[in-house]
Structure 1
Amino acid sequence: MPGVAVSENGWHTGEVAMHKALRVPTSSYRNPTQLNFPLSHGLRIAENRLAAFGTLDDEGRPWTTVWGGESEFARPVAEGLLGVQSLADVRDDPVAQAIVGSAKDDELVRLDANGARGKMVSGVSIDLETRDRVKLAGRVLVAGVGKRRGGEGSPVAEMRMVVVVQESLGNCPKYINKKVVRKHIPSPQLVSTDLPLPTEATDLIAKSDLLFLSSTNGDTMDSNNRGGPPGFVRVASNTTDGVVLVYPEYSGNRLYQTLGNLYLNPRIGIVFPDFEMSDALFLTGQAEILIGPKAAALLSHTKLAIKVTVTAARFVKDCLPFRARMGEPSPYTPPLRFLVDEERDGLVASQSPVATASLLTRDTLGPSIHRYVFRLSPADSGKPPTMWKPGQHVTLDFSEELDAGYSHMRDDDPQSLNDDYVRTFTISNPPPIPANAGSDEIPIKNGTELEITVKRHGPVTAFLSRHNPRVPLKIPVLGFGGEESYRIRPSRHTSSDNRTGKGDYVVFVAGGIGITPVLAQAPGLLEPVDEGAEANFRLIWTLRAQDLPLALDVFERIQRLARLSTLFVTGRARQEERNTIANIERLGAQVFARRLKKEDVVKLGGLEGTKIRYHLCASQELLSVLGSWLNGKDYVTESFAY
């Protein structure tokens, strides 16, 4: 590349800059991109049914498209040459326009750009059934428009071009949900070239799990794919003031070829293909690379992101020469990341610590359940965090303890590749202030204690369960949250209400560790209004026999809760667990050694004629069952999808 400085290991200036910013040891290995077109790469491309291509328009703006639908639409035709013949919308497809805009039917045009032989182009050939990928870059030697489909003047024609391949690279991307591709004859309809984007275009972005993009460093181009869960690209703005998209850069192969180009030249071209309907959203714009706090400030729980300010767009219906049906999802796909202003369930957006939690004690409440007590201290700078409300959660960042750095693929634990080790736990002790203190802005002081009661599941809780409490452990606190609708607010009986059956009730149904939202709220839930009164609250709790120590601990610590509770114990109870059941019954709880049934939840003795609001906190499987039982009734569910 004569215009861009290249290191002795084959990395250009932008790639080296990104490697330094992201702490990749550039000097330790060579750029694996081959400066030729091996036959093996050509044969792989010939097998694939799709390829995305990118080029620059007359204004120097990158655009990207996707062609194909069947094998061998792209194939090697001579040494170093790739031939492409695919149906395309040669009227509205911006890449086709940029390459053959001046060509007549059945005419091949030799392309020159900026005095160089051939128009700069890049591509990524991809097999969505095997996740195989071959990238290439070079120049279009000749191109043209072949046979029309739909008669003279039809925008659908055979797009033909021969590419001199100057660079190629083959690998396997992680974030591809498999799809079965088939050929399709398109009937293009240009819907919009305006900004902001129409609703149909933003709907396509919201459901997309795969996009293709192109970039340039001035000497060559690069086309690549980005995948993730549907909606992984977020629309940050879509107004007359500007259209802005944001997406996370997941852990990849650490080459950072796209980001290296964007570092030197922020122009980017993106296409969102609709695999079901053959629609396409073509975008071009300016990209900004966000690293660390800048990424987290815009996209929650993200360390590396791309912000795209769209400058031009085309939304075209039924313009792609293929369709596809979904296959096996990628095991590597990370959780969906939301924009900071899209906070959901109180999601903590910022990754700047507001406090520090120092581990004090760990109590074992069963084979896999522990209670941890932390001492809080406000962060060194900034406004001290305010006290949490009963029923809220705390978000803790364990990345300094557990983040072991980069790994490309791990078949034993695919999700770990993008694990930020940020975890959210329901707080299981009330704040050390009266519930009726009046102000929601009471700051946390040094020494405030916070408890979480958790089940060992995954790397963070496994780390906590094996950590020696005698060894100091300080964890950054990112904040507190929780939707108001999940807080339990029962009214209370008077003595006469108890006799008449009047009043509204809250029934909390917990599965296992799902009891935690009750623990911090219990003082406010169970305090009687007057002598002889009883809170309008009942607890239905199902858990395994081996977790009975948790139930006994809860009932011993929270007076009056046991007599409002019905416990369903599953699994075989040994003598020790039968003794625990006896102790629980002595505290006033009803205990049944069986699974929970519909009538246990719906037909509650003594509550006939009362209005009941259900709070559900359990595994997703149990929540689904409870939802079917309570169809048409008033209930809310506690979500742990923070």
Structure 2
Amino acid sequence: MTNITATPALPWHEGEISLQRDAGVAERMAEVGRRVIRDWMPDQHRAFFAQLPFVVLGSVDPAGDAWATLRANMPGFMHSPTPTSLEVNLARDPGDPAEAGLEDGDAVGLLGIELHTRRRNRANGTVRRVDENGFTLAVEQSFGNCPQYIQMRRFDFTRAPDRLQPTESVQQLDPRDDRARKMIATADTFFVASYADRPDGTRQVDVSHRGGKPGFVHISEAGVLTVPDFAGNLFFNTLGNFRINPRAGLVFVDFATGDLLQITGIPEVILDGPEIAAFRGAERFWRVTPTRILYRPAALPLRWTDEPDGASPRSLATGDWAALTP
């Protein structure tokens, strides 16, 4: 077994700490952070990443826009030769806007998530570009996440993972486009990327999962997204980043077709208001005003089917937007 002690330094930045203070948990989370946030990957996480057929990535393009994406390959495409490194074998995908933030030296966030077991683990770090077919992540933060709000699904490959969709298939959409609105309005799952630049000049990128009942993300006539923030682990990685740096990248998945809807935009955290009390389970809200939306049909070689009775009990216990309608 790996014998490495957790980093004793406080892992939270000021944005995360400020939201922990707002929630009245800053002192407790200081102790939790030192205990659970590591600068190395435990053996269990190393083995977990190696068995996954896809990974969720968060990156930042040269313009400073955050992007979230899903990238797939046969299980084993990720492996960890040392506790502080994760090799990721993924060919370049010129149709993916997140690709621009996967250059040597770029900060990235990774989320490994296994939908059929509800397991998920995170790793953040720096890209060490090997060649056009992959990179090594130099791990700077590693931690697990609880199984809350995850809809259980099983996957199948429908084509070889190296058969990428042509860049000509990528479509730029208006926020009011019917296709985009339908994907958002029916989703029970999406992933969000965010980042913060620390005072020492380093960048921390995070990518995380969000889940709820279908339709838990509200989209206005103007195309602004509003997301209820349910009870979680109180890390506030995403919202803490928003407080320091209002940039967000969201990706919605059509699990039946492999389509991806990728959004980059400007987020806002909402801590007070009547909707928070009225929306069951919501502790706060956040909004994203899209600045760019890309639709990538059949971008993934994977298709998923819902598990019978696989809805998250935590999701089913939350409210919905219909209850707020007069």
State the TM-score, normalized to the length of structure 1: 0.45
Q: CA deviation at 1:182?
A: 2.0
Alignment of 1:25-36 (within 5 A): 25-27=26-28, 29-31=31-33, 32-36=36-40
Is the CA contact (8 Å cut-off) linking 2:175 and 2:290 kept in structure 1?
no
> CA–CA distance in 1 between the matches of 2:73 and 2:54?
6
Amino acid at match of 1:232: F
Q: CA deviation at 1:50?
A: 2.5
- What residue in structure 2 maps to residue 235 of structure 1? 219
- For the residue of structure 1 that corresponds to 2:181, the secondary structure is helix
Q: CA deviation at 1:205?
A: 1.0
Q: CA deviation at 1:69?
A: 5.1
Q: Which has the higher contact order (CA 8 A, sep 6+)?
A: 2
Amino acid at match of 1:174: Q
- What residue in structure 1 maps to residue 116 of structure 2? 129
Alignment of 1:235-634 (within 5 A): 235-238=219-222, 243-293=223-273, 295-296=275-276, 300-301=279-280, 302-327=282-307, 328-333=310-315, 334-338=317-321, 344=322, 347=323
> CA–CA distance in 2 between the matches of 1:93 and 1:130?
27
> CA–CA distance in 2 between the matches of 1:191 and 1:84?
24
> CA–CA distance in 1 between the matches of 2:73 and 2:158?
7
> CA–CA distance in 1 between the matches of 2:90 and 2:169?
20
Is the CA contact (8 Å cut-off) linking 1:69 and 1:183 kept in structure 2?
no
> CA–CA distance in 2 between the matches of 1:20 and 1:210?
28
Which among 170, 192, 198 is matched to residue 171 of structure 2? 192
- What residue in structure 1 maps to residue 62 of structure 2? 58
Bigger Rg, which one: 1
Amino acid at match of 1:280: L
- For the residue of structure 2 that corresponds to 1:170, the secondary structure is strand
Amino acid at match of 1:202: R
- Is 1:21 aligned to 2:22, yes or no? yes
CA deviation digits over 1:42-69, x for unaligned, max 9?
Answer: 1111122231001110111110101125
CA deviation digits over 1:157-196, x for unaligned, max 9?
Answer: xxx2211111110132210010102223353563521423
Q: CA deviation at 1:330?
A: 1.2
- Is 1:81 aligned to 2:60, yes or no? no
Amino acid at match of 2:96: D
- What residue in structure 1 maps to residue 183 of structure 2? 204
- Is 1:92 aligned to 2:74, yes or no? no
> CA–CA distance in 2 between the matches of 1:234 and 1:84?
34
> CA–CA distance in 2 between the matches of 1:138 and 1:176?
25
When residues 60 and 163 of structure 1 are mapped into structure 2, their CA distance, relative to the original with a 3 A threshold, is: same
Amino acid at match of 1:329: A
Is the CA contact (8 Å cut-off) linking 1:173 and 1:252 kept in structure 2?
no
> CA–CA distance in 1 between the matches of 2:311 and 2:275?
26
CA deviation digits over 1:529-555, x for unaligned, max 9?
Answer: xxxxxxxxxxxxxxxxxxxxxxxxxxx
When residues 87 and 228 of structure 1 are mapped into structure 2, their CA distance, relative to the original with a 3 A threshold, is: farther
Is the CA contact (8 Å cut-off) linking 1:69 and 1:181 kept in structure 2?
no
Is the CA contact (8 Å cut-off) linking 2:175 and 2:181 kept in structure 1?
no
Q: CA deviation at 1:87?
A: 6.0
Is the CA contact (8 Å cut-off) linking 1:192 and 1:198 kept in structure 2?
no
CA deviation digits over 1:587-607, x for unaligned, max 9?
Answer: xxxxxxxxxxxxxxxxxxxxx
Is the CA contact (8 Å cut-off) linking 2:256 and 2:304 kept in structure 1?
yes
- What residue in structure 2 maps to residue 105 of structure 1? none
> CA–CA distance in 1 between the matches of 2:146 and 2:111?
12
When residues 176 and 24 of structure 1 are mapped into structure 2, their CA distance, relative to the original with a 3 A threshold, is: same
> CA–CA distance in 1 between the matches of 2:187 and 2:119?
20
> CA–CA distance in 1 between the matches of 2:127 and 2:324?
48
What is the CA RMSD across the aligned residues, in angstroms? Answer: 2.3
Structure 1 unaligned runs (5+)? 1-6, 101-110, 112-117, 147-159, 339-343, 350-480, 482-642
Q: CA deviation at 1:348?
A: 5.0
> How many residue pairs align between the two structures?
302
> CA–CA distance in 1 between the matches of 2:52 and 2:99?
20
Q: CA deviation at 1:30?
A: 3.0
State the TM-score, normalized to the length of structure 2: 0.85
Structure 2 unaligned runs (5+)? 1-7, 198-202
CA deviation digits over 1:474-500, x for unaligned, max 9?
Answer: xxxxxxx7xxxxxxxxxxxxxxxxxxx
Identity of aligned residues (%): 27
